[in-house]
């Protein structure tokens, strides 16, 4: 019997399924929210009958006042969270409701962090650095990808240094999350692909992480199978509610898995690409995935062979090593099928930045759970392989 112990973290309440957005006003009232800041972006705010408008309608019906911050941008910056803090304090707000994908949730978490734990969030980068609870936080999710609506990770970009950093704490986990797949029916194909590939990576990395456990393994396996069976369909037909629902189930499972088993070099390196070139996070992850995992494969060929099976590859009669190689093939095929670029060159990556990014990646909080321990030179070679891809 194993003597290893581990904790398992997730929001205490998760609403899932078509139409659950209608419950947000009722839940906000139950939490004692009198004036939340709605953290979202201009595009979502402007959608008639979209997630923001449905959120506001539910809050109005429940008699909950609110103020709106619509300045969320991809790869949320330090300035964004400072803007939310200023609005929060000036408006007399008492809570936060994030509406959107990972960028909205990370912006809301970041604002909550500096409201209660000190104004300089860069000093709080790392794991369990927060001493005080955040203001009450609800997350309304609109993309099937990041898992940020139910995780302890807040990913912020320092716009001055172009460095993307992570604040990981159980205090960041929203009190309540909402995943209503009907809110995702109008998500464009490119965003569906990028966020879906983020979920795919977030199911794969915890499975091979040094911190995996039987609970997270089961979540990873089911998430991978759901993504294999639904991401292509969701990209091809954005109004396929069945595919959208399956992707929401998958991203929630992957989010719960990496919230507890952590990630690896794909995310550690993707944070550098995203911070340096302001590139979409999911695309960065997808571009790096096969090259990082090719490097990791010899650390645990058996688990990679299992991954190949979960992705639908026929491994009958193959050696463990040959079966493991099929997992890398399947990763590349998924990216190709949903229209991810071939090379990090296509998002503006420059070889002269590789060493600096490799050094920073090894300091990223996600690096420590990678199954194979690498050097700066190793990561430079991985960046180069992802650059040379054709």
Beta bridge partners of 283: none
pLDDT beyond 70 at 355: yes
Alpha-carbon gap, residue 1 to 302, rounded angstroms = 21
Q: What is the pLDDT of residues 256-269, one digit of tens each?
A: 999 999 999 999 99
Indicate whether 162 and 260 sit together in one domain: no
Q: Are residues 104 and 59 in the same domain?
A: yes
Phi, psi angles (nearest 5°) of residue 13: -135, 130
For helices 265-277 and 354-361, angle between their N-to-C axes, nearest 10 degrees: 130
Residue 80 shares a structural domain with residue 227:
no
Tally the domains of the chain: 2
Instruction: Please check whether residues 203 and 110 belong to one and the same domain.
Output: no
The pLDDT of residue 309 is: 97
Residue 253 lies in a domain: yes
Whether residues 345 and 303 fall in one domain: yes
The domain of 210 spans: 189-388
The verdict on residue 194 lying in a domain is: yes
Same structural domain for residues 240 and 376? yes
Same domain membership, residue 216 and residue 170: no
**Is residue 150 a part of any domain in this protein?**
yes
Q: Are 23 and 51 contained in the same domain?
A: yes
**Same domain, yes or no: 155 and 202:** no
Tell me: the pLDDT tens digits for 183-233? 999 789 999 999 999 999 999 999 999 999 999 999 999 999 999 999 999
pLDDT at 3 over 70: no
| Same structural domain, 85 and 194 | no
The three-point CA angle 209-212-213 to 5° equals 170
Q: How far apart are CA 349 and CA 352, in angstroms?
A: 9
pLDDT for residue 372 is more than 90: yes
317: domain CATH number is 1.20.1090.10
Q: What is the pLDDT of residues 165-180, one digit of tens each?
A: 999 999 999 999 999 9
Examine residue 7 and state whether it is found in any structural domain, yes or no: no
Domain boundary among 149, 184, 219: 184
Please tell me the distance from the alpha carbon of residue 287 to that of residue 87, in angstroms, as a whole number.
Answer: 37
End residue of a domain, out of 184, 216, 244: 184
Q: What is the mean pLDDT of residues 291-305?
A: 98
The answer to whether residues 159 and 247 belong to one domain is no
Q: How confident is the model at residue 1 (pLDDT cuts 50, 70, 90)?
A: very low
Domain boundary among 166, 184, 202: 184
Nearest CA among 256, 177, 242, 179 for reference residue 212: 256
Asked whether residue 101 is assigned to any structural domain, the reply reads: yes
C-alpha dihedral over 116, 120, 122, 125, to 10 degrees? -20
What is the Cα–Cα distance from 364 to 358, expressed in whole angstroms?
A: 10
pLDDT for the residue 118: 94
The reply to whether 196 falls in a domain is: yes
Task: Answer whether residue 6 shows pLDDT above 90.
Answer: no
2 inside domain: no
pTM over 0.85: yes
216, 283: one domain: yes
Judge whether 200 and 334 are in contact, CB under 8 Å. Answer: yes
CATH of the domain at 137: 3.40.50.1970
């Amino acid at each position: 019997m194993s003597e290893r112990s581990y904790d398992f973290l997730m929001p205490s309440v998760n609403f899932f399924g078509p139409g659950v957005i209608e419950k947000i006003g009722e839940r906000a009232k139950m939490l004692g929210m009198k004036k939340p800041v709605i953290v979202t972006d201009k595009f979502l705010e402007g959608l008639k009958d979209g997630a923001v408008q449905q959120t506001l309608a539910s809050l109005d019906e429940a008699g909950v006042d609110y103020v709106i911050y619509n300045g969320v941008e991809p790869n949320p910056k330090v300035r964004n969270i400072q803007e939310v803090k200023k609005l929060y304090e000036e408006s007399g707000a008492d809570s936060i409701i994030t509406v959107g994908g990972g960028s909205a949730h990370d912006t809301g978490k970041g604002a909550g962090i500096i409201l209660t734990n000190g104004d300089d969030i860069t000093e709080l980068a790392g794991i369990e650095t927060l001493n005080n609870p955040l203001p009450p936080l609800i997350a309304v999710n609109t993309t099937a990808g990041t898992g940020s609506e139910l995780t302890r990770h807040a990913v912020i970009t320092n716009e001055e240094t172009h460095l993307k950093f992570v604040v990981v704490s159980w205090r960041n986990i929203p009190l309540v999350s909402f995943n209503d797949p009907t809110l995702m029916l109008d998500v464009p194909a490119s965003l569906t692909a990028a966020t879906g590939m983020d979920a795919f990576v977030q199911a794969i990395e915890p499975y091979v992480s040094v911190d995996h456990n039987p609970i997270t393994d089961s979540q990873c396996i089911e998430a991978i199978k759901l993504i294999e069976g639904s991401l292509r369909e969701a990209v091809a037909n954005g109004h396929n509610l069945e595919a959208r629902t399956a992707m929401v189930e998958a991203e929630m499972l992957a989010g719960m898995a990496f919230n507890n088993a952590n990630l690896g070099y794909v995310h550690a390196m993707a944070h550098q690409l995203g911070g340096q070139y302001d590139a979409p996070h999911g695309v960065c992850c997808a571009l790096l995935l096969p090259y990082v995992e090719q490097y990791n494969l010899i650390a645990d060929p058996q688990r990679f062979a299992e991954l190949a099976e979960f992705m639908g590859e026929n491994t009958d009669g193959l050696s463990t090593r040959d079966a493991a190689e099929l997992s890398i093939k399947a990763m590349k095929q998924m990216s190709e099928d949903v229209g991810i670029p071939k090379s990090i060159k296509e998002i503006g990556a420059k070889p002269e930045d590789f060493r600096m990014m490799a050094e920073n990646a090894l300091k990223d909080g996600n690096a420590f759970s990678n199954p194979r321990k690498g050097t700066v030179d190793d990561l430079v070679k991985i960046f180069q392989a992802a650059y040379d891809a054709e």
